[in-house]
Structure 1
């Protein structure tokens, strides 16, 4: 879809690269200043270790207060970890008990989600790097103090950068989310291409939707963390970013509501130009969104866009032709569906044009939806940290406990292997030097091993190949030049790229991180190519141990799919119930306004207005939660499909649940606004909604044989039938999973 040049542009203007630069500079600055100016090489290295521990938490996106609290926790817990590790590393018995125990405790922090996992990894990182060499009691206190001040330095540095570059961070988080939205639109366009298999199209769409949900949540937490409150320059910038975000979410709703039975559409209209024009219109809109995203990242105004007027007029002409040929009588539901697709494309075009208009300097900074102004903070991610979350997971049926036990066992085994090598190999050979660097095996394991089997196995290969290539690149650099200035430049570039790529391409990140570490060791202890070979041997051993231990108390994804399926069904139930409540209050409000217009003062009940607004907010919150639940389920399902075949359980039911929940959510999005606009709900439509609700409550239902289709009601017939069918199939598959 995109050329390599466009992909590179997207990366270098993204918050990944900007965040990588921020982290790299913050980590290297203590070492560069202390070593380059004051020649305190050891102190500078230790301070950089402390800074690196805190930098792990400083990830792009998310509410700023969580990042601040996480970095403060990393400073305190990292310093305590360095102190304990330094005290036990010189005692052969204590280290065998303390290190696996700390690994288990820090790995259990994954119960607190992504932020907890990052904090645990930060502590594991500083523990591993403190294992490099034995320390005296005096050295331990100094090491802890230098590490602490390094972490404090990074915290202050990050705080200053965030205060100065807050708008840049918002722009980049927003642009990444919009790029993901553009990719989602391109994936949806494939459904209108009869030459592409529907199953393949669904797979691509769900992958794109899961990724888009993640990026939009990161943008939501970044853009909404501080809202505009005045008319100053900063408030105007915040208002523009907020307007673009609101329109981006509205665009997603418009796209989701266009879901249809594409198999029926292709079968009914296999040679129709409507499919071709619909595909081309979506592809053009996708390119427009991508262009807007690119201009947001660059801080520029979009000068030109790809017009979709020709496609919209052609679709309108085709629909009019179908009407004249009698489709309204012969197949009214398909005709209503085509009209609905045209309306959605028009709405999408309007939203995309408005997003581009927000970038103009002369554009108004008024919010596009003033009703949301006082409630946007309710859409932020909330995190709760309780000690009970850890204690309640200290059991074998907990995936977090199994992961902690697995990685603790791997670390203990790594220590045994390292000790065995030191004892077996003669002291004058590899052993004497190897003992000081065996921590690299432990570092490899904590980087590779993840709670899921598939991700651990995937990272294993990436890490191994990345280290191999990184060692080869280091050899080339060392053979091409002996200039320390060149080495320093390469070291800084490798550090920036390593931090930038860790969330984008893990293998490339492993290449740059390996090169960075080898250059660091060159400056600390110049020794030629022996360290390069040592790093490679360490990595191979770490990968082998990680792979072997990944089969110990594994947590297969199918074990968790049932609870994720239940969570997704409940999210759709909440989405439907809040939507129906919103539609009911909206109809009541319309009746009240109609009655007020005949009164002398023309006033309406403010209580009813407030209730309707609150109901709409609850529906929007339920929609956000539904998208997150769907993303969690889809991601887990595709992780399961990457596991061994014999560990893939109930694939047909789980795949069908994925599709039917997607259909149900899409049709809810399409139906609720129409229900809200009606003066009264006819019996057939009312009974259909009751049937959907009963099916989702795991009860028998009797959906009506026919649904009213007079006038605008025809636009509800197809969504309601799809909702009834999807809810029925969800109930059937959930019962099958329960019995299994």
Structure 2
């Protein structure tokens, strides 16, 4: 692992940038308060700043501003009501029920409001017993309100000064993820690769890429200054993001029969050389991503032209020595792979040219896309949506019931004074932080929070025991805060560890000498909150992932079918709509990632809830292959070449019939005989005759030493198109057999659970 590059990725990313901003927004006012000796009386100010800051999710400026404003209003209302009713236990219980349900349910409007809802419940927890507010409620609320508004002001200032910073960092992260994806794909060309492990890594990385692309798409396409293409920077950022999407597709198109490839060229070094070159390309993509995050111009790290020339020369030398009638088709496959690598190299070189910041290029840039077709859907803020989700059939409502129940149990548990719980709000905060809609995520976060709290508490205890220097403790506090806020979304264990450390150090600055009490309370309260969250997530209206599989499988099949039809339109007619194609490509990738993500969560659930795990696994694996093969086929839809030798109509009918059968089976219906007949069509391609002719030429020693790496013979392209169509059909048929087998074993239609 290149630790230097990994460190640069982390340090220059939006996570650290956000962590530093939150830390400075909270600490700088605290330093002023320390200077005047009143921090102990005004500690709710930095607390309010941190709470509002944590609700800030990546996205367009207007939505972030509106969400932060809404968060400030919610926090103040919650703090006010919690402070007024804290001495009336019945009203406190009613408050927990109302706020617990409402702030959990607003997650139906997207992740942004879900974050506001979770933090609103945390605010309720800290004001619920008056432990932090003291006797003067009005004064405490004013201080808290000032801290909340302070971060909103900081946000407005920073985004005005750096309007493109977030978009640039997120686009940079897209390239970094693509770099990691290419490294995984390069693993297929190593000696003796672990195919199962690599396939699992490809699926996991596709999920990460999809989630990041969705967030970036919203940020870029809904940011007015970028969409309007009013400046050089905005236009170049738009082009960089669109280029990353196209590059992602090209990386997917390198799918091949790797096992056969390894067998065919196991005695040669060509595959190892391809692996090494792909790692070089990966490093170049990393360089592009880092430059975008930092905000500098990128320059190539390696001489790609020279390295590509070496690998092409190696191929042609091997071809001239070993190609014969028996190995012709193997070399055709390898030639096509090298052609893809040449295209990817060209794309990377073109992306570097964008970094030249050519004003003429920027001014002439026009995406030609209808942006609204590419923006993620988000529920509109209206009460009808909320009302429709007040039902046990809604997963959001069931989650709200679990959160509210856990908060009620945690609060009632804290009332037992003989246990000696000193920080009621820590139990409630732990419960809110751990409980998530998915059981698997709740289970994982539960363990990570407990481990992180224990390790962080021990480290903080040791630091406070051995270190007495105020400046040193303050420096550790600052570093802990930055790391906590930076890692909160990507490494939960480390985030909790550093959070525990800065909480201990913060309490020590406010109340020196009480470390033993804090140590005990923090660990005990976290353990209690974790146990409550676990029991509630398992027993109160749980939503198991297997109940989502059927709908996600249907959506995935449907999206792949539509994607395939869009690609085949070029072969069947002269009309190929690039925008329509890109929308359908996006939908297919999203549907595939959603299904894969659901399967990954399902693996972490109790064994008795992993219904038909093997079938779902096979379905996910075949769906990935289908999408990748369709992406490979799409490369021939976007060029001007004609392929009349391919019986495109028969292939289209044959494959579509197979995919329609899968969809029919998933709906629990019987397959129509007409579909069965369509899927048995025999396309009348002219490939075999052309191959025989070429093999005869080779037998007659008519082998031409053509060394143009950019030129692929028409026959090679025809053979590759034919092979891809066969692969798509074979995988679709395999997927249909998986579902048929499941139905035969069940002796019934596919159930919902």
TM-score, normalising length: structure 2: 0.85
Which digits, 9 at most, give the CA deviation of each residue in 1:98-137, with x for residues without a partner?
A: 2133222222223233223212112112111212417999
Question: What is the Cα deviation at residue 83 of structure 1?
Answer: 2.1
Q: Which residue is 1:16 aligned to? A: 15
Matches of 1:220 and 1:229 in 2, distance apart?
11
Mark the CA change 1:579 to 1:143 in structure 2 (over 3 Å): closer, same or farther: farther
Partner in structure 1 of residue 494 of structure 2: 508
The change in CA–CA distance for 1:541 and 1:707 in structure 2 (over 3 A counts) is: same
Distance 2:373 2:659 in 1: 27
Write the distance in 2 (CA, Å) between the matches of 1:513 and 1:729.
49
Cα gap change, 1:129 to 1:285, in 2 (>3 Å): same
Q: Post-superposition shift, 1:334?
A: 4.0
| CA shift digits 1:698-735 (9 cap, x unpaired) | 24322326533253422310111111122223334345
1:739 alignment partner in structure 2? 750
Q: Is the 8 A contact 1:258 1:340 kept in 2?
A: no
Aligned-pair CA distance for 1:203: 0.6
Is 2:52–2:148's contact at 8 Å kept on the other side of the alignment?
Answer: yes
Do residues 693 (structure 1) and 656 (structure 2) align? yes
The equivalent position to 1:381 in structure 2, one of 344, 355, 376, is 376
Does structure 1 residue 560 correspond to structure 2 residue 541?
A: no
Give me the whole-angstrom Cα distance separating, in 2, the residues matched to 1:138 and 1:439: 18
Query: Is 1:390 the counterpart of 2:386 in the alignment?
Result: yes
CA distance in 2, matches of 1:708, 1:480: 81
For 1:715, which of 715, 720, 738 is the aligned residue? Answer: 720
Q: How does 1:238-249 map to 2 (within 5 A)?
A: 238-249=234-245
Aligned residue number for residue 576 of structure 1 = 564
Contact 1:227 1:239 in 2 (8 A): no
Aligned pair in 2 of structure 1 residues 130, 30: CA closer, same or farther (>3 Å)?
Answer: farther
Cα contact 1:573–1:693 (8 A) shared by 2 = yes
Which residue does 1:543 correspond to in 2?
Answer: 530
SS of the residue aligned with 2:389?
coil
Whole-angstrom CA distance in 2 between matches of 1:274 and 1:369: 42
Contact kept? 2:108, 2:379, Cα under 8 Å: no
**Match of 1:276?**
272
| Alignment size in residue pairs | 697
Which range is displaced more, 217-226 or 510-519?
Answer: 217-226
Deviations 1:209-232 (A, max 9, x none): 221222233333334424558998
Q: C-alpha deviations, 1:619-641, integer Å up to 9, x for none? A: 11221222222222212211211
Change over 3 Å in CA distance of 1:49–1:135 after alignment to 2:
closer
Note the aligned Cα RMSD (angstroms). 2.9
| Alpha-carbon separation, structure 1, partners of 2:588 and 2:512 | 55
Matches within 5 A, 1:259-338: 259-308=255-304, 309-310=306-307, 313-315=310-312, 317-318=314-315, 321-322=318-319, 330=326, 334-338=330-334
CA distances 1:386-432 after superposition (whole Å, capped 9, x unpaired): 43333333333433222222222222221222112x1x25xxxxx3x
CA–CA separation in structure 1 for the residues paired with 2:172 and 2:254? 24
Compared with structure 1, are the counterparts of its residues 321 and 531 closer, same or farther at alpha carbon in structure 2 (3 Å cutoff)? closer
**How many Å separate the matches in 2 of 1:703 and 1:90?**
77
- Aligned pair in 2 of structure 1 residues 708, 155: CA closer, same or farther (>3 Å)? farther
- In structure 2, what is the equivalent of residue 372 of structure 1? 367
Query: Contact (CA 8 Å) 1:85, 1:99: kept in 2 or not?
Result: no
Tell me what 1:218 maps to. Answer: 215
Deviates more, 1:108-117 or 1:370-379: 370-379
Q: Deviations over 1:345-372 (max 9, x none)?
A: 00111112222333335x4562599451
Whether contact under 8 Å (1:62, 1:219) holds in the other structure is yes
**Which residue pairs with 2:693 in the alignment?**
none
Structure 2 distance, partners of 1:300, 1:274, is 36
Task: Quote the residue 1:604 is aligned against.
Answer: none
Cα distance change, pair 159–731 in 1 and its aligned pair in 2 (3 A):
farther
| Structure 2 match to 1:650 | 612
Distance (whole Å) between structure 2 residues aligned to residue 574 and residue 532 of structure 1: 58
SS of residue matched to 2:682: coil
Q: Distance in 2 between matches of 1:659 and 1:706?
A: 30
Q: Matched residues in 1 for 2:299 and 2:311: separation?
A: 26
Q: Give 1:472 deviation, angstroms.
A: 1.8
Q: Which residue of 2 aligns with 1:729?
A: 734
C-alpha distance in structure 2 between counterparts of 1:695 and 1:78, whole Å:
54
TM-superposed deviation, 1:331: 6.3
* CA pair 136-472 structure 1, distance change in 2 beyond 3 A: closer
User: Contact 2:87/2:129 (CA < 8 Å) preserved in 1?
Assistant: no
Give the equivalent residue in structure 2 for 1:356.
352
SS of 1:649's equivalent in the other structure is: coil
Judge conservation of contact 1:582–1:616 (CA < 8 Å) in 2. Answer: no
Change (3 A) 1:117 1:230: closer
Aligned partners of 1:727, 1:35: CA distance in 2, in Å?
Answer: 67
Could you give the per-residue CA deviations for residues 46-70 of structure 1, whole angstroms, max 9, x where no partner exists?
A: 33333333212213x3222221221
Number of the residue aligned with 1:415: 411
Q: Please list the CA deviations of residues 474-497 of structure 1 after superposition, one character each: whole Å capped at 9, or x if unmatched.
A: 222322344444443333332222
Give the deviation of 1:693 after TM superposition. 1.8
**Which among 621, 633, 636 is matched to residue 583 of structure 2?**
621
Q: 1:672 and 1:108, CA in 2 relative to 1: closer, same or farther beyond 3 A?
A: same
Q: Which residue of 2 aligns with 1:608?
A: none
DSSP-derived class of the 1:550 partner? helix
**1:158 CA displacement:** 0.4
Determine the C-alpha separation between the residues in 2 that align with 1:183 and 1:221. Answer: 23
Q: Summarize the Cα distance change of 1:683–1:298 in structure 2 as closer, same or farther, 3 Å threshold.
A: closer
| Counterparts in 2 of 1:369 and 1:651: CA distance versus 1, 3 Å | farther
Question: Corresponding residue for 2:701?
Answer: none
8 Å CA contact 2:646, 2:722 repeated in 1 = no
Separation (CA, whole Å) in 1 of partners of 2:35 and 2:122: 25
Q: CA contact under 8 A between 1:399 and 1:555: conserved in structure 2?
A: yes
Query: Mapping of 1:53-132 within 5 angstroms?
Result: 53-59=51-57, 61-132=58-129
Deviation at 1:19, TM superposition (A): 0.7
After TM superposition, the structure 1 stretch with the greater mean CA deviation from structure 2, 636-645 or 376-385, is 376-385
Contact 1:273 1:315 in 2 (8 A): no
Q: Distance in 1 between matches of 2:18 and 2:659?
A: 43
Question: For the residues of structure 2 that align with 1:516 and 1:678, how far apart are their CA atoms?
Answer: 63
Return the alpha-carbon distance in structure 1 between the equivalents of residues 119 and 241 of structure 2.
32
Which range is displaced more, 342-351 or 622-631?
622-631
Compared CA separation, residues 727 and 352, structure 1 to 2 (3 A): same
Secondary structure at 2:164's aligned position in 1?
Answer: helix
Match of 1:638 among 600, 619, 627: 600
Question: Structure 1 residues 135 and 119, CA, compared in 2 at 3 Å: closer, same or farther?
Answer: closer
Kept in 2: contact 1:695–1:728 (CA 8 A): yes
Using the TM superposition, name which of 310-319 and 451-460 deviates more: 310-319
Q: Which residue matches 1:599?
A: none
The secondary structure found in structure 1 opposite 2:379 is coil
**Cα shift at 1:376:** 4.0
Q: How does 1:156-167 map to 2 (within 5 A)?
A: 156-167=153-164
Shift in CA distance, 381/62, structure 1 to aligned 2, threshold 3 Å: farther
Q: CA contact under 8 A between 2:659 and 2:732: conserved in structure 1?
A: yes
Per-residue Cα deviation, 1:138-180 (whole angstroms, up to 9, x for no partner): 9545444443333222112101111212333233222222111
3-state SS, counterpart of residue 621 of structure 1: helix
Please give the secondary structure, in 2, of the residue aligned with 1:719: helix
Name 1:497's counterpart in structure 2. Answer: 483
Cα separation, 2, equivalents of 1:123 and 1:652: 41
